Structure 1
Amino acid sequence: MLKLLLVLLVWSWTSSALIRVPLRRLRSIRTQLRADGVLEEFLKDHRPDMFNRRYAQCFPPGTPSLRLGRSSERVYNFMDAQYFGEISLGIPEQNFSVVLDTGSADLWVPSSYCVSQACGKSLHRRFKAFESSSFHHDGRMFGIHYGSGHLLGVMGRDTLKVGLTAINQEFGESVYEPGATFVLAKFDGVLGLGFPSLAEILGNPVFDNMMAQKIVDKPVFSFYLSRSGGSSPDGELLLGGIDESLYNGPINWIPLTSKGYWQIKMDSVSVQGVSSFCPRGCQAIVDTGTSLIAGPTNDSFLLQQLIGATPTNIGEFLIDCSRVSSLPHVTFALGGVDYTLTAEHYVRREMLGDRELCFSGFQAVDIVTPEGPLWILGDVFLRRFYSVFDRGQERVGLAVAKQP
């Protein structure tokens, strides 16, 4: 009886120490645009070169995020984002839906002073600094360059609640969000969980602030993303530890090779057991803010050919839905362990009216770093594998995720 009591006490302590942030999965911007028949026009208007020419004059001269080459250093693409969590800012609480993004380090939400269409009352919730008794004005300006646009804003500090409460959290209030990307977005803002070196907003990123204030039990957070559309919630961010009930087998730990993105060494990428890419190793980032799996252009195009995907005129790759069961497996070797995706894992299915379309879950993105070009292991990969982000020991952990 005493042993049972001790077990129950330990269980209740560990359960209370782990903070769960439910995630919702919604239709992506790309899916919405395709359903409305305007995806091609949107992509043409939001190419980085076109976007810069149209809106650069709207930003103050010297805005850091507009510097030439910035987009090759920072990759944020929310066109395909699907998983969102709820946070609150201020006292009394003001609620916002955010992308929980390990590929960036800033927290921002729309400001009540925002002048863009994306900040319309009926579209997104806006932060009202004058209604918060805990708000501290900063006054400094920030700019962030996204793959599909820029935003500009001012910085402040306030109480943040995301399952637990952090005080004096630095964040950005966006006042200008040009273009249509954020008009269509199902989220209000972004909460970055990368390292401070990625941040455009000065001060501690959210998880650094939580560690400094000692409000997380361990300097660890983890993600579980469900593949099933009928589960509730559709995923979880767990702050302060891991949940062994969400994965099978042991966690494989991979040390970080750089502290900006959650960057690790990838041993190889193989298709149907044949090593096809980076046989001498390459670099990869584990990124919850990117939905697809991305690789250097040449490698990505070859990979699309090997899985039988054919290009469209807007850069997507289509797959014959009737052939999905016969497509090859794709395996990523990380830390000496093979992580294999079947076609059911890497093919994205969408309904367009009464017709099913199948798209490749791989895309081409060129990110050049001193360590070489980067691959991005986004949500297509992370729905298959439970992911652990360990700031204390500077490592990423992966295990096979349980699915309902």
Structure 2
Amino acid sequence: MRLLLLLVSMAISQGFVQVPLTRRKSLRKTLQELGLLAELNSNIQNLSSKYSSGLQEAATEPLANYMDNEYVGTIYIGTPPQEFSVVFDTGSANLWVPSVSCTSAACTNHHKFNPHLSSSFHTSTEVVSISYGTGSMRGILGYDTVQVGSIIAEKQGLVLSEAESLFLYYSHFDGILGLGYPSLSVSGTTPVFDTMWNEGLISQDLFSVYLSSGNGSVITFGGIDNSHYTGSLQWVPVTEQKFWQITINSITLNGQVVACQYGCPAIVDTGTSVIAGHPEAIRGIQKAIGANPDIYGLYNVNCNKISSLPDIIITIDGMNYNLPASAYINQFPGSCSSGFQSTSGLWILGDIFIREYFVVFDRSNNRVGFAPIVKS
């Protein structure tokens, strides 16, 4: 069963009590007031160009691949740190992990955060509910230290779940770390990436994602590792600063436009395993590739015919992005299924697309960059 981590609803309880927090002025803010920030950034850019890896004051987070369905990394919360595995999800904007107060079955087989064991934890009385394409949770908003790779963000807002849907029992992750825009965040809680940038913990206001079907998948905060892609990055403007939303010009199969003939909005979503789109268009694609539905809602394909199936071409900002059948067909021992799925909302370019194209999420310029990956 595929996970569509698309934030679609939220509910916040009445009677919210603001927890006062003492916040020190960041180094970045101080340098900006002194007129030295531009000079510092210039020096960093010059220094970083000397490194062949292409990284610029960046922090990398390795991601484990579970059957091309979930990509999970490790973070640490609290003092002393408690370990959690999370999906880094560009389709939402909040961080949440299970709490020791959670009584749902989904919490019984995952790590649970104990706020009483963290000397840096602060709580609030705000109740937050988040629903995804599949799965939902409800919990209490709190604040604590969060470590991602080598980056340590203090007083980071996070939700401690007290109830989770049964679907999450089967997930390989404990929680979700959202990487969408702040406008997508529940109750205005600052997303983790924004905290990194606001506190001067990274030198560039961007992050990049490399997903592989094998080993070596990674997310890089504050830099771009050019060893993961070939050619040049093609930049596409973000059309709405909520999700990482762009415009698809068209989707073509066998020379015929099968979807988005007049353009359609789409989001680039690391938390979704499939490519999802409008039901009518998806039905047409399933028919064209010979995919037939089964009783579980999957569209099965004859494994012996994969080599003869056509490429699907997704045109974005005038550039063609080819997806071969080996990319859009999920292959398992003894069965194969289509990687396309219907949704009533925006089109979603999920992991099927991202495994073929390295992606840079550039907040400073509100754009997304794509380039063909170097396959391992």
CA distance, structure 2, for counterparts of residue 107 and residue 295 of structure 1? 26
Alignment of 1:1-400 (within 5 A): 10-11=50-51, 15=55, 17-27=57-67, 81-120=69-108, 123-163=109-149, 164-178=151-165, 180-228=166-214, 231=215, 233=216, 235-351=217-333, 356-367=334-345, 374-400=346-372
2-structure distance, mates of 1:261, 1:7: 33
After superposition, the Cα gap between the structure-2 partners of 1:346 and 1:152, relative to the gap in structure 1 and judged at 3 Å, is same
In 1, Cα distance between equivalents of 2:259 and 2:48 = 49
Alignment check: 8 A CA contact 1:224 1:386 kept:
yes
Percent identity between matched residues is 41
Structure 1 pair 303/129, CA: closer, same or farther in 2 (3 Å)? same
The CA deviation string for residues 111-161 of structure 1, in whole angstroms up to 9 with x for no partner, is: 0111112222xx111111111111111221101112333311001000110
1:182 Cα deviation from its structure 2 partner: 1.6
**In the aligned structure 2, how far is the partner of 1:112 from the partner of 1:304?**
44
In the TM superposition, residue 266 of structure 1 has moved relative to its aligned partner by: 0.8
Using the alignment, how far apart are the partners of 1:220 and 1:345 within structure 2? 27
Give, in angstroms, the shift of residue 12 of structure 1.
8.1
Structure 1 pair 393–139 and aligned structure 2 pair: CA distance change class (3 A): same
Query: Is the CA contact 1:265–1:335 (under 8 Å) kept in the aligned structure 2?
Result: yes
Letter in 2 for 1:17: E
- 1:210, 1:132 → 2: CA distance? 21
Task: Report Cα offsets for 1:160-186 as digits up to 9, x if no partner.
Answer: 1001111110000001113x2121111
Q: Which runs of 5+ in 1 are unaligned?
A: 1-5, 29-80, 368-373
C-alpha displacement of 1:14: 5.9
8 Å Cα contact 1:252-1:335 kept in structure 2: no
Amino acid at match of 2:175: G
**Contact 1:103–1:286 (8 Å) recurs in 2:** yes
- What's the offset of the Cα at 1:282? 1.0
Whether the 8 Å contact between 1:270 and 1:332 is mirrored in structure 2 is yes
CA 1:9–1:391 in structure 2 vs 1: closer, same or farther (change >3 Å)? closer
Secondary structure (helix, strand or coil) at the match of 1:299 reads helix
TM-aligned CA deviation for residue 201 of structure 1: 4.6
SS at match of 1:324: helix
SS of the aligned residue for 2:310 comes to coil
What TM-score does the superposition give when structure 1 sets the normalisation length?
0.79
What is the CA–CA distance in structure 2 between the aligned matches of 1:13 and 1:275, rounded to whole Å? 39
The RMSD of aligned alpha carbons is 1.7
Letter in 1 for 2:342: A
In the TM superposition, what is the alpha-carbon distance from 1:15 to its structure 2 partner?
3.9
* Structure 1 position 208, deviation (Å): 1.1
Counterpart of 1:20, as a letter, is: T
Cα gap change, 1:298/1:85 in structure 2, threshold over 3 Å: closer, same or farther? same
CA distance in 2, matches of 1:287, 1:340: 18
1:186 aligned counterpart, secondary structure: coil
Q: CA deviation at 1:315?
A: 1.8
1: CA distance between counterparts of 2:315 and 2:67?
31
Gaps of 5+ in 2: 1-45
> Which is helix-richer, 1 or 2?
1
Greater displacement, 202-211 / 182-191 = 202-211
* DSSP-derived class of the 1:130 partner: helix
- Would the aligned equivalents of 2:123 and 2:143 in 1 still touch at CA under 8 Å? yes
Match of 1:402 in 2: 374
Q: Is the 8 A contact 1:170 1:202 kept in 2?
A: no
Query: How many angstroms does 1:13 deviate by?
Result: 10
Distance apart, 1:313 and its partner CA: 2.3
What's the offset of the Cα at 1:321?
0.3
The letter of the residue matching 1:342 is P
